[in-house]
Chains A and B, each alone.
Chain A
Amino acid sequence: MRIPYPSEQTERRQIAEIVQKGMAQRPSLLLMFRQMRQSMGIRVIFHDMADTVFISTFTTLCIFSSMLHYLKDINQSHNDLYAMLFTFSPMLYLLLCLLGLWKERISHTFDLKMTCRYTPYDMMAFRMLIFSCISIFVNMVAVGIFCAQGATAHFWHLFFVTASGLFLFSALLLFSVLHNHGLLAPTATALGWLLANGLVYQELNTGYSNLLQAIPLYLHIVVTILCACVYFAGLSRLFQKKEECEMQC
């Protein structure tokens, strides 16, 4: 009797297929986001967020307008500009994320959504990515306006000060969301950011802006890239995060 063994080539192909199916690699973050967008659509991901977006945008515009008004003689006081832009660069991101988290809490839908295919953490990760892109754009426009108003600062230098501030804060906020289920840690992070920057400014006065100004452009770029890498790694962890809801039990 002859047993029909498969050829070596067939064996290799079948082994590779088994390994591929059995040890399925986790798709990249961007691919997961793409699948999520295709499956759910942007309207679902940003469900019930119109008021959050409106309040956040309005508040950010007010802050930047006040800064512009305060620094109207921009050539004389541009030393304050660096500290202010660094501190307030994550403002839009901060408001969008915190208000979004707060609304999630008060609707009491968290438990229910955690049992769905796409969880609130998946959506939060997607939203945070979009919010950071929007914040970069808003910061860029704000820096452009400040430069157009006569600030002697270099556009890209000022832009990367805001970008490093934004990604540093984003990474800290993401870290707090990853390690705490409630609202307390993210709120404390946001307040801590504003308070710490305020204290440093009070302590060093124009020295704070001078310090940020003295840091060369390439170093700002390096800090921005490093913080962005930490941030994206955090976003990947946030996506499909499994977390007990101890607070509600």
Chain B
Amino acid sequence: MLTVQNVTKRFGKFTALQDISLEFSHGVYGLLAPNGAGKTTLMKMLVTLLFPTSGQILYDGAEISSMGSKYREKLGYLPQDFGYYRNNSPRQYLHYLAALKGIDRKEAEKRTEELLDMVALSDVKDKKMKKFSGGMIQRVGIAQAMLNQPEILILDEPTAGLDPKERVRFRNLLAELSKDRIVILSTHIVSDIECIANQVIFIKDHEVYCNTDRDSVCTVLQNKVFLCTVPEEASDDFENSHFILSRREEAGQTHFRFICENQADVPPDAEISTPNMEDVFLYVYREE
């Protein structure tokens, strides 16, 4: 189990994270927050790239920074800005990283082939990466994170640059991997979290705003999300007086999906709607 205990991280006078406490066991954990909320700082602390100003991070009871290479051997990490050697092929680069991870050469060769196949890069495994698209590079990044069959897989914005088909493939892969390991992924693409995360963590104002299972997240907006159709000429007034989640124009009418916390303010012709995680995200971060 990976435990974050009362962790605070400061950069000079700026507090990036304040008194964070979390526990991770097997499963997929989705870290949701807008940019600048401290997601990447938390991720970097979990992979020992940064150290807490106060508090501690433990893995099976041992402080991760003092575990050194023993902890890193259990780790798979995809950074937000995945760096690579432009003149290397994916196969060369994965072999190189496998050596850095201390994987035996024969095992590395076998694993590289498996992973390249898994991320659908077998056809271009010997092509130089400088010719690759952003999505292809991201897939190399995902493959390298899984090279050492990590017990803890930490992915910072893993689906950025992936097309819908690749995204679905990636979600399925993560769901399969999470059976026997900790998978922590940070993103602001809510649908990724909605599909695969067992547990959702919101960070707001540098603190944990909520840490709950996927199904419970939406209860915060239970009976507060509505659908309503308004004539086009009244749509601006309606928009200014309600918390709008989405707006669609059709045949002189405007269809609104909105949040209304006070039942007395709900228009009589509005229909109640089931809230989703994107609604919660927009609601939680409405001031940002």
Contact = CB atoms under 8 A, between A and B. Distances in A.
B46 to A, nearest CB: 10
Q: How large is the interface on B (under 10, 10 to 19, 20 to 34, 35 or more residues)?
A: 20 to 34
A114 interface: yes
Interface string B86-124: 011000000011011110000000000000000000000
Contacts, number: 80
B49 A114 contact: yes
Interface stretch (B76-84, B206-214, B215-223, B240-248): B76-84
Contacts of B69: 117-118, 240
Given A48-B85, A242-B65, A249 B41 contact: yes
B49 A244 contact: yes
Contacts of B75: 115
A242 B48 CA distance: 8
A47 interface: yes
B283 to A, nearest CB: 29
Given A117-B100, A242-B48, A109 B83 contact: yes
A107 B99 contact: no
Contacts of B40: 249
Interface of B: 11, 40-41, 44, 47-51, 65, 68-69, 72-73, 75, 77, 79, 81-85, 87-88, 96-97, 99-102, 144
For the complex of A and B, 5 pairs with smallest distance between CB atoms: A108-B83, A109-B83, A116-B100, A117-B102, A44-B99
14 contacts: A39-B99, A44-B100, A47-B85, A47-B96, A48-B85, A48-B88, A107-B85, A108-B83, A112-B144, A115-B48, A115-B77, A116-B100, A116-B102, A242-B68
B144 to A, nearest CB: 8
B158 to A, nearest CB: 14
B85 A109 contact: yes
A116 B44 contact: no
A112 B147 CA distance: 13
